[in-house]
Amino acid sequence: MGESVVEVREGFTGGRVAKARPSTLRRPPRLRRGDRVRLVAPCSPVPDAQLDAAVEILTGWGLEVELAPHVRDRHPLLPYLAGLDRDRARDLQDAWCDPDVRAVFCARGGDGAHRMLDLLDFARMRRAEPKALIGFSDITALHEAFAVELGVATVHGPVVGTRYFVGDEVAQRELHTTLFTPERRMLLTSPGAHALVPGRAEGVLFGGNLSLLNDGLATPHSRLATDGGVLVLEDVNEDAARVDRMLTHLLRTGWLDGVRGVAIGTWTDCPPDPGAIADLMRDRLSSLGVPVLWGLEFGHCAAQLTLPLGVLATLDTERASLELAVPGLE
């Protein structure tokens, strides 16, 4: 994310107010009707019916939709992977480097993104023009890598070959607006959002799935600069003790040093209950001395918000919102 100049002062209903002017990442261009896009499967296998439904929806948006050659593959030995690492990496790289492709949609998260990162030719990919990369969950590994290696802003949004997109008209509408008319999605909030630690902070949005961020520590792409950034966090199917261990690990390694604020999304099927996870977040993150906002509806949930990563935003717990300084796409 580049270097940042940060001014911090105490105040704002007991929290910390942070003002940052970090370097943002290059924003890809918005989509227009007639644009060619490609669907890739960099992680787990995609159900055929949901993949076909996603193609129909995106075609209905006026896009020319292509499927990557290996998008329907299954790994011969490891059933949780959508084909061989080298094939998944080649599909992603070729989609990114094709000058006629205007966006890359990830069809599913799951598992496997970290396995193929070292097979990508980032030197070649840096020569390509930026384009939107869309996905969440395991795609967090790609968001980190693309920020570090390519300096490109990405889109934390639905993986289109799943129930988080197919059959979810609200999530479809949120993603469509972000991709086609991003100036209409500058203020991101949810009805139940509220402060865990009050305050206001400005910084570049980064982060995603807690498990993926934790698993990526000490890898080349965990060098993503947190200083001056606003961290977004979500996860699924992790109990409170496991979430505690991951947060503590991030704190003890110093990875969270310099974070200006934290926006917390959904914690679906994370026992014992959401209230316990909220209490845990307050306990673990209050030591950072930065504002923490709970309850934004992004991540593993219905009607999820789409979040542009790599752009400057203001987290305001009094307004229970993230407000983008610029549209997520050019």
CATH number at residue 49: 3.40.50.10740
Domain check: are 244 and 168 in the same one? no
Radius of gyration of the chain (CA): 19
Task: Give dist(CA 90, CA 92) in Å, integer.
Answer: 5
Domain that holds residue 282: 6-25+186-324
CATH number at residue 307: 3.50.30.60
Strands 292-294 and 194-197: antiparallel
Structure tokens at 145: 């890598």
Is 30 a domain residue? Answer: no
Domain check: are 111 and 222 in the same one? no
Q: Could you tell me the pLDDT band of residue 229, with boundaries at 50, 70 and 90?
A: very high
Query: Residue 3 above 90 pLDDT?
Result: no
Domain check: are 190 and 239 in the same one? yes
Task: Give dist(CA 71, CA 257) in Å, integer.
Answer: 38
Q: How far is Cα of residue 244 from the mean position of the Cα atoms in its chain?
A: 21
Domain check: are 69 and 178 in the same one? yes
Query: 67, 57, 72: which is closest to 36 by C-alpha?
Result: 67
Q: How many CA atoms are closer than 13 Å to the CA of 65, on its beta-carbon side? A: 21
Task: Give dist(CA 51, CA 72) in Å, integer.
Answer: 9
Q: Are 182 and 158 in contact (CB under 8 A)?
A: no
Task: Give dist(CA 326, CA 18) in Å, integer.
Answer: 19
Residues 6+ apart with CB under 8 A from 208: 136, 137, 139, 140, 143, 144, 156, 232, 233, 234, 309
Domain check: are 120 and 214 in the same one? no
Domain finish residue from 161, 184, 207 = 184
Give the total number of structural domains in the chain. 2
Domain finish residue from 128, 156, 184 = 184
Task: Give dist(CA 94, CA 76) in Å, integer.
Answer: 23
Place of tokens 């999304």: 265
Domain check: are 262 and 308 in the same one? yes
Is 64 a domain residue? Answer: yes
Q: Which residue has better confidence, 218 or 181?
A: 181
Burial class (CB in 10 A: 0-12, 13-18, 19+), 86: exposed
Query: Residue 6 above 50 pLDDT?
Result: no
pLDDT of residue 23: 62
Task: Give dist(CA 161, CA 156) in Å, integer.
Answer: 15
pLDDT digits (tens, 9 = 90+) for 35-93: 999 999 999 999 999 999 999 999 999 999 999 999 999 999 999 999 999 999 999 99
pLDDT digits (tens, 9 = 90+) for 249-294: 999 999 999 999 999 999 999 999 999 999 999 999 999 999 999 9
- Angle of helix 274-285 relative to helix 240-253, nearest 10 degrees, comes to 20
Domain check: are 246 and 285 in the same one? yes
pLDDT of residue 224: 60
pLDDT of residue 1: 35
Structure tokens at 222: 């965990």
Query: Residue 175 above 50 pLDDT?
Result: yes
Look over the chain and give the mean of its residue pLDDT values, rounded to a whole number: 92
Residues annotated as catalytic are 137, 234, 300
Is 0.85 surpassed by the pTM of this model? yes
pLDDT digits (tens, 9 = 90+) for 195-228: 999 999 999 999 999 999 999 999 988 866 567 8
